[in-house]
Structure 1
Amino acid sequence: MAIIAIALLTFLGVLTETSMNVAFPTLMHQFHVSLAAVQWLTTGYLLANSILMLASAFFNKRFKARYLFFAAAFFFGVGDCICATATQFPVLLFGRIIQAGGVGFSGPLLTNLILATVPSHRLGTYLGFANLIILVGPALGPSFGGLIVNVASWRLIFWSTLPLVIILVVIGAPNIKQYAKTAKYAFNWLQFSLLSTALVSVMVVISLLAVPTQWLASLLLFWVAVMSAGAFIVVAQKPTSKHFLNVNIFRQPIFLLSFIPYVFMQFSNLSMNFLLPNFVQIVGQASPFIGGLILLPGSIINGLGQPVYGWLLDQYGGKLPLYVGNTCFLLAATTLMIWIPTLSISLILLVYLLFASGRSLAFSNTMTFSLKRLSPQVQADANAVYSTGQQVMGAAGTNVTAVLMSSVHFNLSGVHTNLIIGSRIMLGLIVVIGIGNFLCYWKLFKLSGVKA
């Protein structure tokens, strides 16, 4: 019951995140903001998630699981209220950042609870079932958001989830037990501040690329990001009694070679989830409901397939799910890159179904394959890095896609033609990522003693 309650709270966070994507054209009109600006409702949300997840290893060692669950519910509920009543875009964005605390606490808590209670040979199956609950969010989110925008108001997205948070607290809190010891550790605020500054600066720089007149601000923020990241690397190497994040995990090749494809698949996933609904609405003149509906079948397969995909990893190892999944991922991205301007909405739906199935088969199993081979002492740190990495790269994917779709301009081309060109460039980048994933998997299996 504890795992289900935490997973459902995480599901609500993912549901609101993906519901908002299809409401972007409506919000652009209501608040008079650009596509590059409105996408910060997703980018800011994911970035706030990632900053909290940076400290999840510390939270896991310092605070009881029940307190972390209460914190997740509190931030989500307060953010819900702010977003539902917002009358200005900055207030709505602030509410989304507060609401991000829900998944920021509950996501890592869910994985750490499973790692603490489930034997290694069953991890794939149990993480698959947990992901099943969470990934129903992307399946329902776009259609849920599109339907609400069509028949009511986008504000109902937030009002409708608030009572569910209260119910989950009542049901979940009494069932959450403590399986790991906690202690009073000192938090390393310096490392946390440096890394957070670097991440935020990078996201703002990417967003400013859509505004050529802001080149000086982009340059300054780029150097802030570089200097903050460099300072973090130097400080992190020094011995200290304060706890934050064990960056030495990156020195383990098995972790690094799984981390790279894991985060770039999330980059591609959020890019595709942003690109396709907005493409069919702006270029294809489809309604918000149709824009969300094209993601529904693929997202349902994405969620429902998780237990089966985890079972495949437990039974047959990593080679089958990772290679087959990435092949489907690459074929779908290539198809869209070449033919997206000529594809009907039905065909885009089918190609996305292939993309989502492949990405789902490989994504979670990439992390699980690595976690099985890491010692229990570093699993919490590895989980923190995985969780943070996927949120940061998801935010980057949304941000980069928005920039390319809104800022590619050719003098003799219309708005729709420019948007098609920008979309194709983004899809080409996803194709390159798919090729790179194969190289990482080949090396990963070689190091792990698995015949590739």
Structure 2
Amino acid sequence: MENQAIPKKTLLAILGASLMAFCGVLVETSMNVTFPTLMKQFGLPMNVVQWIATGYLLLVSLTMATSAFVQRRFKIRSIFIFAGLAFIVGSFVCALAPSFTVLLIGRLIQAVATGYAIPLLFAIILQQIPVARLGSFMGLGSMVVGIAPSLGPTYGGMSTYLFTWREIFWFILPVVVIAVLLGSFTIPQKFETHRDPFDTFGFILLAVAFFLVAESFTDAGTYGWISIQFWGFLVVGLLVLAWFAYHSTHSKRILLDLAIFKSPTLVLSLIPYFLLQLINIGISYLLPNYGQLVFGANSLVAGSAILLGSLAAAVIQPLSGRMLDNRGAAVPIRIGGAIIVIAMVLFASFGLHLTNTLIVLFYLVFGIGFGFSFGNAMTNGIQQVDLKLQQDANAMFSTSQQYAGAIGTAIMATLLTSSQESGRHLSQAVLSAQGSEHDFILLVVLSIVAFGLMIVNFRKQAQLKTTKSVF
């Protein structure tokens, strides 16, 4: 079984889906490094421009939340072609955008494409790859969606420095076209489709909840962490999210089957996965801006500082997936979690005095830890539920991954903006460094929480395994 051959058509389908997902995730963070440029060009503050990232990630998250339903109703190949065409249209709108509003519209069109492409990649892997090789292929898939955000600033910085930010969208178009062609002829259909009714009310509740929570963190940068705007939006958003959960468990129309949350080990896999992606997107947003705002690096240098760590994570993810296949999930995930804590402590310790060299070295440490833990957390989590719920588990992990990015970007931008607008008579470089230090300290706390939950999770899994063997 371990050496079971994978059909070439399946491999080509995975390649096509991987290319599409990679392009979608790449543009998530490729624009982060252009924020200073966009602020000058359109005359807008940071907390407005950052909606280029936050708005994109919010819509990706919402689209992914519908992916399990959409995959049950439509053929995977049809969804893939739709996503590819939407991505191409969105790229043209962005590249030709005469204003910030049009640019944001183009980004939202791309977000719908990305929101369907990523779950499709994992759906193909889960449906077509034997269990004995699932860790390796899930590692490859996770490498695509986990590393592309880190490569984004390098790609965006290079395009902006050598040309303009518009080339970010022009250069990626040929890759998307190739992906669409590959997927159109090779993507298989394993399950029959069903014409189930769409849960419109549930979707509206989820959209409102996602927006309000993200907006609360954005408003914290303008009004402060103890403001009525922050706490009002946050509390109402969480209440609407609870309403969505109640509605979903009492409705015959299923947008997302929340029965997956009956598995405590899935929950204990999902939360660290969410936190790891929040850290990943947050720091890949923060570091390029730190380079430009604190020590005056150009967009190319600032974006390239995290390239080495990204490549390290890219190499390690499929190898750590194979480690999961051979030795179980606990070993690589615990190793990765511990290394990420070390990396965040290093960033926090040197937060006021980082250099480009230190950023490269510390991010390399982070990339190694991320490569060991990120993809395996998703693989391990999905394996905690029955086969019939794995589609919904895939959708939940994909949704949480993207929403973590939206929240991470908003929090990093908020803490940075709060320091820059504090009114203290210091240079913008010093204020930006102080704001970044606050971000790093928060990331230390989040990494420790994630690592602690990983330890609890595998103790719980060991207990459940022991209980099952007794009976």
Q: TM-score surpassing 0.5?
A: yes
Contact 1:263–1:389 at 8 Å: present in 2 too? yes
| 1:419 aligned onto 2:428 | no
| 1:355 aligned onto 2:380 | no
The partner residue of 2:60 within 43, 49, 53 is 49
CA-to-partner distance for each residue in 1:121-167, whole Å, 9 max, x for gaps? 21110112233444553454222211211121111111122233223
Give the AA of the match of 1:233.
A
| 1:436 aligned onto 2:449 | yes
Q: Alpha-carbon deviation of 1:365?
A: 0.6
State how 1:441-452 maps to structure 2 within 5 Å.
441-449=454-462
Structure 1 SS opposite 2:252 = coil
| 1:236 aligned onto 2:248 | yes
Give the AA of the match of 2:397.
Y
Contact 1:410–1:418 at 8 Å: present in 2 too? no
Query: How far apart, CA to CA, are the structure 1 residues paired with 2:452 and 2:158?
Result: 41
Which residue in the other structure is 2:14 paired with?
3
What is the CA RMSD across the aligned residues, in angstroms? Answer: 1.9
CA-to-partner distance for each residue in 1:29-73, whole Å, 9 max, x for gaps? 111111222111111111110000011110111110111101211
CA spacing shift, 1:135–1:245, aligned 2, 3 Å: closer
State how 1:49-448 maps to structure 2 within 5 Å.
49-135=60-146, 137-138=148-149, 140-212=151-223, 218=230, 221-238=233-250, 240-408=251-419, 409=422, 411-448=424-461
Give the AA of the match of 1:234.
Y
Query: How far apart, CA to CA, are the structure 1 residues paired with 2:98 and 2:441?
Result: 38
Contact 1:254–1:444 at 8 Å: present in 2 too? yes
Query: How far apart, CA to CA, are the structure 1 residues paired with 2:195 and 2:317?
Result: 37
Give the AA of the match of 1:78.
V
Q: Alpha-carbon deviation of 1:341?
A: 2.2
More deviation, 293-302/113-122:
113-122
Which residue in the other structure is 2:7 paired with?
none
Structure 1 SS opposite 2:31 = helix
More deviation, 136-145/75-84:
136-145
CA spacing shift, 1:135–1:431, aligned 2, 3 Å: closer
Q: Alpha-carbon deviation of 1:213?
A: 9.0
Structure 2 SS opposite 1:178 = coil
Which residue in the other structure is 1:37 paired with?
48
Give the AA of the match of 2:134.
L
Structure 2 SS opposite 1:341 = coil
Query: How far apart, CA to CA, are the structure 2 residues paired with 1:102 and 1:236?
Result: 25
TM-score by length of 2: 0.91
TM-score by length of 1: 0.95
Which residue in the other structure is 2:469 paired with?
none
CA spacing shift, 1:133–1:223, aligned 2, 3 Å: closer
**Number of corresponding residues:** 450
5+ residue gaps, structure 2, are 1-11, 466-471
5+ residue gaps, structure 1, are none
More deviation, 75-84/368-377:
368-377
